[in-house]
């Protein structure tokens, strides 16, 4: 099952996101947002009617193939927000995503106990449909279709070749992968670590869930604040500081001897995490040539998904040799090297080529 899930994730995100990004640059980001939203709403409702595991698997593959709501949202916001407020806007978007990540499993679990599993698919599909309708009638996009049509149309592969020639973008893609890899490599083992620290079975599920969600809670609060700070102090500086800060916060997790120590260090980690992905997205907009923004965000989503996939696999394989404490230190080292990489490739380079222009 784990291997099938990984193959599905690779198929869905790594292969198809750049294609949707190319179409978004050609026909508009809002169009791709609506395509994804309404498409996922229909497929989600169909999942509620699935009568076998193979039908559910097929529908999940279809759902992943047509998805792309998040990168489309990032591209839409980044291309329609004044540069001096982009960090705050993307940080607020990050907070909304984190809130859904925290509340979704909680509410879904309560609903499953109350009404069963199938109605949840119907409700989720209805909510996706409602959100898409809201985007349709409320969200405005400044997009010149004639200008987009006049730009050279290149293949997905050629688009990637053009983008990777911009050293700052390549650095940001690598940074995104390392961030997600470092974050995810110890995640699957945290419940076992909590059990080891807690020592008893009493309230174990509560503490495991609390430790797993506390990072998201601090991330939720910190993202808009750090986004506003990046607008004032510079996204490159904030990204480097947050990478180093996140690296430091992994060290007390490795040294924790009590659950409360792990809890506090992961809460502090979430504060620095709030300044990572939104800041990367801000910088991608800065360095991406005009007309290729959605493709750049789609490629970045692919690298993020690769980090999500490979992190738990590699972390699980290494845990037999170095333990979860070693994984925490490994994550600290990766994030520290990532911070040095950002400092060398973005801050010392300063500005650089490939900076996009936009109408503020």
Q: Note whether residue 145 is domain-resident.
A: no
Spatial distance between the Cα atoms of 206 and 158, rounded to a whole number of angstroms: 49
Q: What is the mean pLDDT of the chain?
A: 83
The mean per-residue pLDDT over the stretch 183-202 comes to 84
Q: Note whether residue 59 is domain-resident.
A: yes
Kindly state the helix (H) or strand (E) to which residue 309 belongs, with its residue range: helix 293-342
Q: Note whether residue 19 is domain-resident.
A: yes
3-state helix, strand, coil in the chain (%, to 5): 85, 0, 15
Which of 77-91, 101-115, 179-193 is the least confident region?
101-115
Encoding tokens for residue 6?
């990984």
Q: Note whether residue 149 is domain-resident.
A: no
Higher pLDDT, 66 or 268: 268
Domains in the chain: how many in total?
Answer: 1
Max Cα distance, the chain (Å): 66
Q: Note whether residue 207 is domain-resident.
A: yes
Instruction: Count CB neighbours of 336 within 10 A.
Output: 18
pLDDT digits (tens, 9 = 90+) for 249-259: 999 999 999 99
96: domain CATH number is 1.20.1250.20
What is the domain extent for residue 267? 2-134+156-347
Q: Residue 113 above 90 pLDDT?
A: no
What is the structure's pLDDT at 9? 47
Instruction: Count CB neighbours of 254 within 10 A.
Output: 20
Closest CA to 186 of 277, 253, 272: 253
Q: How confident is the model at residue 355 (pLDDT cuts 50, 70, 90)?
A: very low
Q: Note whether residue 359 is domain-resident.
A: no
Please tell me the total number of residues recorded for the chain in this structure.
Answer: 360
Higher pLDDT, 161 or 325: 325
Q: How confident is the model at residue 6 (pLDDT cuts 50, 70, 90)?
A: very low
Count Cβ neighbours within 10 Å for each residue of 54-74 and write b for 16 or more, e otherwise.
eebeebbbbbbbbbbbbbbbb
What is the structure's pLDDT at 349? 63
Q: Note whether residue 177 is domain-resident.
A: yes
Q: Note whether residue 151 is domain-resident.
A: no
């Amino acid at each position: 099952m784990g291997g099938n899930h990984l193959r599905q994730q690779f198929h869905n995100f790594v292969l198809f996101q750049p294609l949707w990004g190319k179409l978004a640059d050609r026909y508009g980001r809002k169009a791709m947002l609506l395509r994804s939203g309404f498409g996922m709403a229909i497929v989600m409702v169909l999942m509620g009617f699935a009568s076998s595991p193979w039908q559910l698997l097929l529908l999940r593959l279809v759902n992943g193939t047509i998805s792309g709501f998040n990168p489309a949202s990032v591209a839409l916001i980044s291309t329609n927000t004044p540069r001096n407020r982009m960090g705050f806007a993307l940080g607020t978007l990050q907070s909304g995503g984190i809130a859904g990540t925290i509340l979704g499993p909680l509410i879904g679990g309560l609903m499953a106990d109350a009404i069963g599993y199938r109605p949840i698919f119907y409700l989720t599909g209805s909510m996706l449909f409602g959100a898409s309708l809201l985007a349709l009638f409320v969200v405005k996009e400044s997009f010149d279709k004639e200008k987009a049509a006049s730009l050279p149309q290149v293949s997905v592969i050629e688009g990637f070749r053009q983008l990777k020639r911009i050293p700052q973008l390549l650095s940001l893609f690598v940074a995104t992968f390392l961030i997600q890899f470092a974050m995810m490599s110890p995640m699957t083992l945290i419940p076992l670590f909590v059990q080891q620290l807690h020592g008893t079975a009493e309230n174990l599920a509560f503490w495991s869930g609390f430790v797993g969600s506390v990072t998201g809670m601090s991330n939720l609060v910190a993202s808009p604040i750090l986004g506003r700070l990046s607008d004032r102090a510079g996204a490159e500086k904030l990204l480097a500081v947050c990478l180093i800060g996140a690296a430091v916060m992994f060290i007390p997790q490795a040294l924790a001897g009590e659950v409360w120590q792990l809890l506090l260090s992961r809460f502090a980690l979430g504060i620095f995490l709030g300044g990572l992905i939104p800041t990367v997205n801000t910088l991608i907009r800065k360095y991406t040539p005009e007309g290729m923004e959605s493709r750049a965000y789609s490629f970045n989503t692919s690298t993020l998904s690769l980090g999500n996939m490979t992190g738990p696999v590699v972390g699980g394989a290494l845990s037999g040799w170095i333990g979860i404490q070693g994984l925490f230190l490994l994550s600290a080292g990766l994030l520290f090297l990532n911070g040095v990489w950002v400092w060398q490739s973005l801050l010392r380079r300063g500005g650089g080529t490939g900076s996009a222009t936009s109408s503020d």
